Amino acid sequence: MTVSYSLRVSEAKFFGFTRLLATWRGSIYKLLWQEVVIFLITFYGLGLLYRLALNDEQRTVFEHICMYAKEGMSIIPLSFILGFYVALVVGRWWNMYMSVPWIDEFAQLVASNVHGEDERGRTVRRTLVRWLNITTVSVLRAVSIPVLTRFPTFKHLLHVGLLTEEEYKKFEELPTPHTKFWLPCLWACNLVTKLRQEGRIQTDLCHRYLLERIQAHRQNCQDIMSYDWVSIPLVYTQVVTIACISYFVSSVFGRQFLDPSKGYESYKIDLYFPILATLEFFFYFGWLKVAQAILNPYGGDDDDFELNYIIDRNVQVGFSIVDRLHGQMPSLVRDKHWDSLVVDLPYTKSSMKYKKRRAWYGSTNRVSRNAKDEFIIEDHQTMPVEDDGHLEDYPESFPAGSTGNIQGEIDMNKDQQTLEVPVYAHDTRSCCRDDEGSTSTDGARVRMDDLKEQKETLLSASPLETVTEYIDESEAESENRNKL
């Protein structure tokens, strides 16, 4: 039976988790006490042999064995091996629980999509749920001793009313050496298809979804069979078990209290009880025993799944949904808060301490801010120019076909001897005259005879009706020398 302590740890009270240490059923003490007793008996037996039965020479040999065993303990990576193994087993354990099939969803779909208030309608709804429950019981019998003990043969399913005489005969007559848990799912699929043809299932979508849920139920049962068939590799379990046993065989020697007068390193104290050695055994071997206990949770240990309870619940809930509750629905009336826009449900006096005083608006809601802070409206008529340029007026729009890349427009039109894109920001490093008497603007060369026409174009497009021209000083001096 599963040991649940969720209510006891619902609040992290003072010594709340410590109180769990007094629980016996499902505890590590119940699981491990026999191994601890064997460890202590072995430890004290070797200690008494060392102190009472050996002579001086034999004691020296025993002391050397103990020191050698203590050194050997460090070469076994027990924490790594156990940690990885337990993590693997715990993940597998939870997946095995998630594979256990529940009847609720399928029963609700049957109740809402298989129509008919006559006796046949009631019969087919109950039959569909019963067949899927037979599938569940059949597969759980194959993997769980508690379920097998309850239903030793299929004839017991006939006696309890899950199987009819005809269904039992079909199970027995099926010529296959394999497990037959899937047979009721096949019957259910055939029945659903027949109901669609009869019109009791009114749409193809409902027909398809019912088939999908039957297959999902069968897949869960198949997963249970697979987990039972394919275990964690035996060699891995053997390695972990051998490593743990070897470690503590070395521990009963390496943790012995040797004669302090001999001056051995790390053997300077003599106690009657091996406190640290016992704790170490309790932790490590307890870790291994936990993995062993949940390796097959379909068994009968304290923390194994209660599969017989799940079977009983599926049968009772499934029949209730498709039979007693079929077509039932409360009357549609106006609720108490019909005229309320904001509904604030009251609290009892005892629950007022759990009430949240205000709505949550996000963590930044607590940041102080200036409610009077206003937006800055930028002037789109200006554009900053870097690299020793000047802040000049920028056009509101470019001519049709322009991309806004002034230099690119110049390069594209240099063969046409015109500038279709106005240029307003000039720089001394990007506009200069060369020796051949032409003007260069960032590598785009324009003939001197078109300079006047370009300036007129710039003037017509510039909002200030001015164009600033920069001439490199070195070129100006060169031109003056040529004139002289």
pLDDT value of residue 397? 44
DSSP label at 53?
I
Question: Residue 76: is its pLDDT beyond 70?
Answer: yes
Instruction: Note the pLDDT tens digit of each residue in 396-440.
Output: 444 444 444 444 444 444 444 444 444 444 444 444 444 444 444
Q: Find out whether 100 and 135 touch, Cβ atoms under 8 Å.
A: no
In one-letter notation, the amino acid at residue 437 is G
Locate 69 and state its tokens: 């065993």
For residue 111, report the phi and psi dihedrals to the nearest 5 degrees: -65, -35
Cβ neighbours around 219 below 10 Å, total = 14
What is the number of H-type helices and E-type strands within the chain? 16, 5
Confidence (pLDDT) at 269: 80
**Would the pTM of this model clear 0.75, i.e. be above it?**
no
Flag whether pLDDT at 229 surpasses 90: yes
Mean pLDDT to the nearest integer, 203-218: 95
Cβ 472 vs Cβ 432: under 8 Å: yes
Average pLDDT score over residue span 64-83: 89
pLDDT tens column, 319-361: 999 998 888 888 999 999 999 888 888 899 988 888 877 777 8
- Tell me which H or E stretch contains 455: helix 451-461
Of 142, 318, 292, give the one whose Cα is nearest residue 213: 318
Measured in whole angstroms, the distance separating CA 275 from the mean position of its chain's CA atoms is 40
Q: On the CB side of 176, how many CA atoms lie within 13 Å of its CA?
A: 9
Mean pLDDT, residues 456-467: 51
Find, among 312, 327, 311, the residue nearest to 108 by Cα: 327
pLDDT tens string 131-173? 999 999 999 999 999 999 999 999 999 999 999 999 999 999 9
Contact 106, 132 (CB under 8 A): yes
Between residues 133 and 266, the one the model is more confident about: 133
Mean pLDDT in residue range 186-215: 95
pLDDT top residue among 294 and 269: 294
Return all residues near 312 (Cβ < 8 A) that are at least 6 apart: none
Residue among 279, 316, 313 at smallest CA distance from 126: 316
Mean pLDDT of 440-461: 52
Q: Which two tokens stand for residue 375?
A: 């937006």
pLDDT at 393 > cutoff 90: no
The residue that leads in pLDDT, 413 or 183, is 183
